[in-house]
Amino acid sequence: MDLHGKSFVGGVLCASGGRQFHATSPLDGAQLETEFCEAAAEDVEAALELADAAFTELRQLGAEERALFIERVAEEILGLGDKLLERAHRETGLPLDRLTGERGRTVGQLRLFAGVVREGSWCDARIDTALPDRQPLPRPDLRRVLVPLGPVVVFGSSNFPLAFSVAGGDTASALAAGCPVIVKAHPAHPGTSELVAGAIAAAVTACGLPSGTFSMLHGGAELAHQLVRHPLTRAVGFTGSHRAGRALFDTAAQRAEPIPVFAEMSSLNPVFILPNALRERGAAIAEGLKNSVTLGVGQFCTKPGLVFGLGGPEMQTFAAALARLIESAAPATMLHAGIRDAFEKGLDSIAKVPGVVALATSGAEPDAERTQGGAAAFVTDAENFVQRRELHDELFGPFTLIVNAPSAAALADVARQMTGQLTATIHGTPEDLAAAGELIAVLERKAGRLLFNGFPTGVEVSPAMHHGGPYPATTDARFTSVGTAAILRFARPVCFQGFPAQALPPELQDENPRGLMRLVNGQLTREPIVR
């Protein structure tokens, strides 16, 4: 494979930094070809300067041109062909069929955002026409529209080497908003990152955009904080651990001029199994749960890591069924040795928590040479769960904890003690649901997405998706990182008062040339303003 190992600073390849590194395949522990070079502080400076200059040019770009650019990124990624999937497979250990699906998701996500840009109503145009004769004071002409924030720093995540990495959801939504993007590549898949960065750079060139529209830098934590501290950085998108996300949030909050950090960090995704559902289809729920827990070797941010039910014979039957399924689950290769080691250490810690009992582990022994993790399930009771705060931390990997509660009221009480979550799931019959008003009310405050009779893994990329939630699920519960609403993270309103028509952006002109849905004098309409 033809990789260069360099960073993309605007259109220029740079290898001026210090430390060199290689990727290691979790499939066999082998060092992969190509030496990668971390970017230097001056690369950060150059990338931000270029991005800032590009931003001014991008602001002049029409929506159609921006949409075409985003679609071109999608085409260029597809044009990389199998070599992208093969490198990603070797760097992440993720199976080729999963990566094929993830590429489809990545490309589909880009095209979805191109559609949002083209349709255009996301910019929330609002017009209050002048009332020159109003008493006691005339009303001026006011026209408000969302404009892009400026250069956005994106951190690639390890568990989605395509869909939440270099050209993933954060990049797609930031480009769609009209922001230049500087990606810090995840060091676990530098080759995959380089290939995708090359695709974006090719699209930038093909569309005649300024080179600073996109940069991608290799580097570690120090470079990450340099990027967040840089005065020209306007916002940050991140998917990863609570520890790393919080550190970036703190750096951003301590700036002379604080900037928003959208970090998606940590979630246990509790599943509540209500009594009638447990009785009617406990075995099916156990099967679905095991599939969701072990999907992608438990390396999804929506993996259900907590299962609540009412303790008793039916819950014991359920636990026994889940135990058999977990025992038969084959160990599988995790993303990298660091994640696998953290998973094993986490399991050891949980096993030592008083009042927690091991329920089952994969029957086969995980192969350390192949960076494997095995599935595991534990059991405790609600009182112990509430007391032991270490059980409230996410453990990334194919693990779940069953929590037995003494009563339906106790389910709501224990939910009240949880930290913020991306998702919360209820399994129930209509009868169960009707009786669960209090639980639903609590969960609405704790989670960004509530599921009924489903499983939280598998996050649809669509207008109605919300992938976010109260802290520590994310640093800002008001925004999503998946779905079209993610674009709203990277824009701010500007109001034009008394501007003549020719100086207004097309979104705010009387004629409504783009046919947007706008709020005109308090009424939502696509009609032009007729004088």
Question: Which of 124/341 has CB closer to a copy of itself?
Answer: 124
**Is residue 273 a contact partner of residue 369, using CB atoms and an 8 Å limit?**
no
Task: Choose, by CB under 8 A, the member of 79, 495, 511, 527 that binds a copy of itself.
Answer: 495
Distance CA 247, CA 227 (A): 13
Distance CA 168, CA 178 (A): 16
Residue 310 backbone zone (phi > 0: left; psi -120 to 50: alpha; other: beta): beta
Distance CA 251, CA 23 (A): 28
Least gap, CB of 394 to a copy of itself (angstroms): 15
**Is residue 314 a contact partner of residue 278, using CB atoms and an 8 Å limit?**
yes
Kindly write out the interface string for residues 41-60 of this chain, putting x where it contacts a copy of itself by CB under 8 A and - elsewhere: ---------------x--x-
Task: Choose, by CB under 8 A, the member of 103, 144, 186, 242 that binds a copy of itself.
Answer: 144
Site for a copy of itself in 257-276 (CB under 8 A): 257-258, 260
Task: Choose, by CB under 8 A, the member of 79, 463, 513, 515 that binds a copy of itself.
Answer: 463
Instruction: Write out 453-511 in H/E/C secondary structure.
Output: CCCCCCCCCCCCCCCCCCCCCECCCCCCCCCHHHHHHHEEEEEEECCCHHHCCHHHCCC
Question: Which of 47/127 has CB closer to a copy of itself?
Answer: 127
Residue 313 lies near a copy of itself (rule: CB under 8 A):
no
Question: Which of 26/180 has CB closer to a copy of itself?
Answer: 180
Q: Is 264 annotated as catalytic? A: yes
Strands 372-373 and 214-217: unpaired
Site for a copy of itself in 287-306 (CB under 8 A): none
| H or E element in which residue 175 lies | helix 169-177
Q: Is 119 annotated as catalytic? A: no
State the alpha helices, DSSP H only, in 359-446.
Answer: 382-387, 408-416, 430-434, 437-446
Instruction: Please state at what angle helix 221-229 crosses helix 41-59, rounded to 10 degrees.
Output: 40
Stretch that binds a copy of itself, among 29-37, 80-88, 189-197, 440-448 (CB under 8 A): 440-448
Site for a copy of itself in 73-102 (CB under 8 A): 101
Site for a copy of itself in 417-436 (CB under 8 A): 419-420, 430, 433-434
Match 């991005």 to its residue by tokens.
51
Residue 128 lies near a copy of itself (rule: CB under 8 A):
yes
CB atoms < 10 A from the CB of 429, how many? 17
Task: Choose, by CB under 8 A, the member of 44, 114, 201, 491 that binds a copy of itself.
Answer: 491
Question: Which of 146/195 has CB closer to a copy of itself?
Answer: 146
Site for a copy of itself in 157-196 (CB under 8 A): none
DSSP 260: -
Residue 137 lies near a copy of itself (rule: CB under 8 A):
yes
Question: Which of 3/465 has CB closer to a copy of itself?
Answer: 465
Find, among 263, 8, 257, 7, the residue nearest to 150 by Cα.
257
User: Hey, what are 167's tokens?
Assistant: 């050209």
Q: Helix or strand or coil: residue 113?
A: helix
Q: Helix or strand or coil: residue 27?
A: coil
Stretch that binds a copy of itself, among 123-131, 332-340, 368-376, 399-407 (CB under 8 A): 123-131
Catalytic residue among 264, 394, 431, 438: 264
Residue 354 lies near a copy of itself (rule: CB under 8 A):
no
User: Hey, what are 85's tokens?
Assistant: 């999937």
Catalytic residue among 14, 123, 179, 301: 301
Residue 389 lies near a copy of itself (rule: CB under 8 A):
no
Q: Give catalytic residue positions.
A: 264, 301
